[in-house]
Amino acid sequence: MDAIEALLSRRSYARGCLLQPGPNREELAQILQTAMTVPDHGNLKPWRFVVIQGQGMKDLEGLLRTIYDGEVENEVYFQHFVEEIVNTPMMICVYTAISQDTSVSILDQQLAGAAACEHILLAAHAMGFGGIWHTQETDNALRQIMGMGEKDQVLGIISLGTPKRTSRAKRKSFADYTFEWNQESGLQPWE
């Protein structure tokens, strides 16, 4: 698939629609390497990738169950998350590793990490896999489980697998979201 075709045809797949097999080790290495080419203010590499598959998925489910046991507030999200975990081949948890001794803002570091999430999804898609980017109410639990720093944040849990069936999402035209600007006319709709 060429790059433009991959960009135009990417879509999200609900976790229930992501079947085995997920990417193998070699494919995963290639996917993660593409995330290392995102624009990165200050070249700080302010992201970390945690691959969770096989026994790791079972361990995560068990730990989340322990952490959320009886916590009514999080029960719905938790049940939803756990159900999806058991039906998904693998996940990559992307979190920030924020550098403090730099003039690069935390926002810029988070944005670079978010770009890494998108590269992962795009690379997986270009290789024939499907994925979805989740930000879940389980962030605090994941922070605990992954041993993250206080200022670090889960940017995404990227589930990957083989789509049950592929289809193309209908996309809106960029033109409805795009303007042209000059000083005299200000913002004008793109035509």
Ligand X SMILES: Cc1cc2nc3c(=O)[nH]c(=O)nc-3n(C[C@H](O)[C@H](O)[C@H](O)COP(=O)(O)O)c2cc1C
Quick one: which of 2, 169, 176, 187 contacts ligand X (CB under 6 A)? Answer: 169
In whole angstroms, what is the distance from residue 37 CA to residue 61 CA?
32
Range 110-149, binding ligand X (CB under 6 A): 132-136
Of 102 and 111, nearer to ligand X (C-beta) is 111
Of 50 and 157, nearer to ligand X (C-beta) is 157
Token pair of 124 as six digits: 């997986």
Of 9 and 102, nearer to ligand X (C-beta) is 9
Of 3 and 169, nearer to ligand X (C-beta) is 169
CA 75 vs CA 65, 69, 125, 139, 143: distances in Å: 10, 8, 32, 14, 18
Q: Which of 120, 96, 122 is nearest to 107 (CA)?
A: 96
In whole angstroms, what is the distance from residue 188 CA to residue 191 CA?
9
165 is in an annotated binding site: no
Q: Does 159 contact ligand X by CB under 6 A?
A: no
Beta bridge partners of 162: 19
| Nearest distance from C-beta of residue 134 to ligand X, angstroms | 4
Range 1-60, binding ligand X (CB under 6 A): 11-12
* Residues found near ligand X in the complex (CB under 6 A): 11-12, 132-136, 169
